Amino acid sequence: MSEAEIRTDRLKKLERLKAAGMSAYPSASEITATNQKFLETFEDAIGPRTIGGRIMALRGQGGIQFAVLEDGTSRLQAVFQKDEMPEAFALFADTVDVGDFVQVSGEPYTTKRGERSIKASAWKMLAKSMMPIPVSWYGLKDEELKLRERYLSVLLDPQLKALFVRREKFWQTVRDFYKERGFYEAETPVLESSPGGADARPFETYHHALDINVYLRISLELWLKRLLVAGFPKVFEIGRIFRNEGQSREHLQDYTQIESYEAYKDMRDGMTFIQELYRRIVKDVYGQYTFTIGDHTVDFAEEWPQIDFCKKIEERFGVDPLSCTEEEAIQAVRDANPPAGGEVGEALNKARAIDHLWKSIRKGVSGPAFLVKVPVYLEPLAKRSEADERIVERFQVIIAGSEMGKGFSELNDPADQRARFEEQQKMRDAGDAEAQRLDEEFLRAMEYGMPPAFGFGMSERLFSFLENRPAHEAQLFPLLRPKQ
């Protein structure tokens, strides 16, 4: 039958329910126990109980029907016998389909095959489905359809549902880790008049009430740093951020991120803190420290080495990021085989060229490792190193060839911050759409005094890597083009 024919048939069944005086979509149920609770107390039950859920399977003939109900806690078989409830049995057989939500009242009953069930004495429709639940979902090759109708994928694939249970546990573990250490959990604006805190292109929209253009945030950083100015010594936020950029196995336009800031700490303190955080995540969520991610084997229990950014690039490409000219950096990108970044014709400046060179190296690093000694011109928000003012006190966590977190000794000198913002603004004016804006309001806040602090950010990319899946497959409802 076609979908149209199935819908027509089920509309007729709605009319039969209505004629029998039963609502197909009542406001409430009389359920007294979950399926799981019913099974756990099966031997101790006294008297009838009422359970419910979606019918996932129907079978039987003549005077007996078996229905498998799923309520999100467990599956439970309900047994309907015609001789014990003739009218209700006939209505059930005539109007119920796989996919419907029903409630069933009855007593514990063990079938001849030994399956613990509920023997129905009454039933009630809770929600009549108009579309059939697919029976061949596992063999479906249309991956876009599986993402578009993700509710069916989760319903029919227990492993996928378990993935999203782990995702919730992943973020809860992160939250617990910070709360146990006395951090205040903040909630900062999603709409901003000036997006900042990262090198990224924002989404822009119009605020009618204020008659201004606003942006979806690309970072949580500048608001959380204002809270350091406000006197909070430890702050974090787990929230959604939005970047109007390319989509790939690792990158999405909207995703969940945590950022945290702890006053009176620096990058060195932060390395120990982050090692503890990541090990806590993998132990609590997965019960293991070693993972296979793509072609990489990653052991979180090992000590994490430090990788010198400038030395690695000079060893591989023969240019020193600290002393080379812009022309030398761009030429190194073009001379690489294959060209670093993959797009020889794209507009490059020194910062983008050096970043391309590093990313071509990064792909071969399994980690976990800390990338350190990055040039100032690549990081406008981190404190300069006291040992060498050309580099910043920043680390990146490198896992399976990708960036899995970034930590700073935060810049708190407003004059230095202004100079770096101005340099970033020059890059924007020259055509770099991802360079940061000069944010006067944030600079004013800094001028009131911000304590030295360690800052850190990590996105849900880590979760997708631990699952060894593309980023969009690790989101419940990834963004897709509208169906044509």
For residue 365, give both structure tokens: 């690093």
pLDDT at 338: 63
Burial (Cβ within 10 Å: 0-12, 13-18, ≥19) of residue 370? buried
Least confident of 157-166, 286-295, 344-353, 407-416: 344-353
Q: Residue 342: pLDDT above 90?
A: no
Least confident of 135-149, 177-191, 243-257: 135-149
Residue among 30, 148, 75, 215 nearest 483 (CA): 148
Mean pLDDT of 352-367: 93
- Dump pLDDT digits (tens) for 317-327: 999 999 999 99
Q: What's the rounded Cα separation, in Å, for the pair 256 and 236?
A: 13
Q: Residue 337: pLDDT above 90?
A: no
Least confident of 17-21, 89-93, 378-382, 385-389: 378-382
When computed from its CA atoms, the radius of gyration of the chain, rounded to whole angstroms, is 29
Q: Which amino acid is at 266?
A: D
pLDDT at 139: 58
Q: For residue 124, what are the contacts with CB-CB under 8 A and spacing of at least 6?
A: 22, 26, 29, 30, 102, 103
Residue among 100, 80, 98, 97 nearest 89 (CA): 80
Q: What are phi and psi of 309, to 5 degrees?
A: -55, -55
pLDDT at 140: 62
- Dump pLDDT digits (tens) for 409-468: 999 999 999 998 888 888 888 888 777 888 889 999 999 999 999 999 999 999 999 999
Q: Is the pTM of this model over 0.75?
A: yes
The band of 172, judged by pLDDT with boundaries at 50, 70 and 90, is very high
Mean pLDDT of 26-49: 92
pLDDT at 340: 66
Domains defined for the chain, CATH in brackets: 3-127 (2.40.50.140), 155-305+367-474 (3.30.930.10)
The band of 216, judged by pLDDT with boundaries at 50, 70 and 90, is very high
The band of 344, judged by pLDDT with boundaries at 50, 70 and 90, is very low
Q: Do 341 and 360 touch, CB atoms closer than 8 A?
A: yes
Q: Residue 407: pLDDT above 90?
A: yes
Q: Residue 162: pLDDT above 90?
A: yes
Q: Do 179 and 185 touch, CB atoms closer than 8 A?
A: yes
- Dump pLDDT digits (tens) for 236-265: 999 999 999 888 888 899 999 999 999 999
Say what percent of the chain tops pLDDT 90: 80
Q: How far is CA 302 from the centre of its chain?
A: 26
Pairing of strands 75-81, 184-185: unpaired
Mean pLDDT of 164-176: 98
Q: Do 390 and 376 touch, CB atoms closer than 8 A?
A: yes
pLDDT at 1: 81
Q: Which amino acid is at 416?
A: D
The band of 343, judged by pLDDT with boundaries at 50, 70 and 90, is low
